[in-house]
Amino acid sequence: MPSSPAMPAPPPRVGITSVGSWLPRRRLSSEELRDEVARGGLPLPRGVFERATGIGSRRIAADGEYASTLAIGAARRALDAAGLDPLDIDLLLFASATRDMAEPATAHVVQAALGSRAHALDVTNACNSFVNGIDLARAMILAGRATRALVVTGETPSRAVRRAPASLTAFRDAFAGYTFGDAGAAVVVEPVDRGGILDVDTLTHSEHWAAGGIFGGGSRHPRDEEQTYFRGDGAHLRTVFEKVGISALDRVRHRTGLEWRDFARVLVHQVTVPYLERFIEATGVPRDKLVVTVGELGNVASASLGVQLDRVHGRLTPGDRVLFVGLGGGVSIMTLVWEVS
């Protein structure tokens, strides 16, 4: 009697098993920021930043605190929550728009402080860096190149804010930077028995790369201090994100068959309160699915989704699905669907 054909092995699963975040102690209100800019010589009406952005405050890294400092704090919390030693990690990705220096990779600074011996490298793609890092960690585990990864981010974009613009034109050019705050986040990524990362998608429209950024420090402007400040066309970026972002969400819902009701949470990169309100209006995402942090923390770049996840992680239960929506300068959109194991 012929034997039955062997059943194919189920596909391997990789998921997020632990989360941590870290915030600097110093809190800077929008009115205090306005006072700093006004002392630089440009008179501004009271309440201008909060009225325009909905951001009341943000956290600011202190002197002696760096991108790596915030990443290390978040990493230790994620490892402690998982009951892991740094030596249990064999891949460490520092995935951030900010870094300590041009060379070496900031991942080595983080690794040295933790005492890990993992393969360490940086991943950078503006505010999508952290989601890119999670995706890369998953891919390397599935490829057999790693068994357990620690993905960390430390963001200090507040240091790229122009505190003394020379003119109203310079102020407007730098305005998007006044939304920035600092934060760190970390996740452990490893094989799981059920659930895990179910779907990842990306959309990239690089023709918009010049719409906003910090253009100094590279080979184009290696020593031009003016290029070390963030500048950009916020209205242009918003238009692109609205057009491309909605199509990305349509794609993931069509591909997975999941609707908003199927997600316990929707984590979306947050720039300003008005932008978040527009996101809700344009996409139909129920407000109670969101984790709103922008009003108290500002735009914390790639740490945004990690901080949001850390705030709700303890209330998620196995089988809950979470949708990550990343928006990054360049311009790129990322979606990631994760099911709690």
Catalytic positions, written as ranges: 127, 269, 299
Query: Among 26, 104, 32, 114, which residue's Cα sits nearest to residue 64?
Result: 26
DSSP assignments along 203-235, one per residue: EE-GGGGGGEE---SSSSSSS-GGGGS-EE-HH
Q: Which residue(s) pair with 334 in the sheet?
A: 202, 326
**β-sheet with 149-155: strand ranges across:** 14-22, 183-191, 149-155, 91-95, 119-123
DSSP assignments along 35-68, one per residue: HHHHHTT----TTHHHHHH---EEE-PPTT--HH
Tokens of 202: 């990306």
Query: Among 91, 94, 28, which residue's Cα sits nearest to residue 61?
Result: 28
Tokens of 228: 């070390």
- C-alpha distances out from residue 234 to 27, 48, 255, Å: 24, 16, 31
